[in-house]
Amino acid sequence: MPFFLSVITSPENFDGEQVLIERMFELNLETLFVRKPNLSKDLIEQWILGINRKWREKILPWQGSAHSFEELKEMGNREIVLLSPVFDSISKLGYKSKFSKEELKAGISEWRKFMGEGSRAKLYALGGINAGNIRELKEVGFDGAAVLGGVWNCADQVAAFESILSAML
């Protein structure tokens, strides 16, 4: 079963951000979640226009994440739903994971039963994800991961993305 890697934008704009994102798409970034809380909808649309049009179908608006399996069930049958924080957050200091590996396995199994066989919803992990722990996510049953601090909190964001991607194999 494939495992997908997505990135969530840095909440703050910075010069060259779109160029870095395009390099990640070239390396096989599955989707980009645009989370720019300080920008209006119009400014977000302008920001997206700074990315080559060939990647735009892989750009999704930020829809938030669930912080429990109960919340996850309330999110409905979206294409991608996110559960966080799966590990202690990198970008939000003091934001700790509340899940053990066993709780994740059981919760994911129960969520899949709840969603039913016909569901196309993919469950992505969020929070504290890096090259050292990404393989655990596939083992417990996630369909993919969305990374924020594991990329943007590094000096070389593209190299950080590439090392996470390589660690998935």
Per-residue pLDDT of the chain (169 residues; tens, 9 = 90+): 789 999 999 999 999 999 999 999 999 999 999 999 999 999 999 999 999 999 999 999 999 999 999 999 999 878 999 999 999 888 887 788 989 999 999 999 999 999 998 899 999 999 999 999 999 999 999 999 999 999 999 999 999 999 999 999 8
**Whole-number Å distance between alpha carbons of 44 and 61:** 9
Q: What is the four-CA torsion angle of 105, 107, 110, 112, rounded to 10 degrees? A: -80
Structural domain of residue 131, as residue ranges? 4-168
Beta carbons within 10 angstroms of residue 154's beta carbon:
16
pLDDT tens string 65-111: 999 999 999 998 789 999 999 998 888 877 889 899 999 999 999 99
**Total tally of structural domains belonging to the chain:** 1
CATH number of the domain at 150, please: 3.20.20.70
The Cα 142–Cα 122 span in angstroms is 8
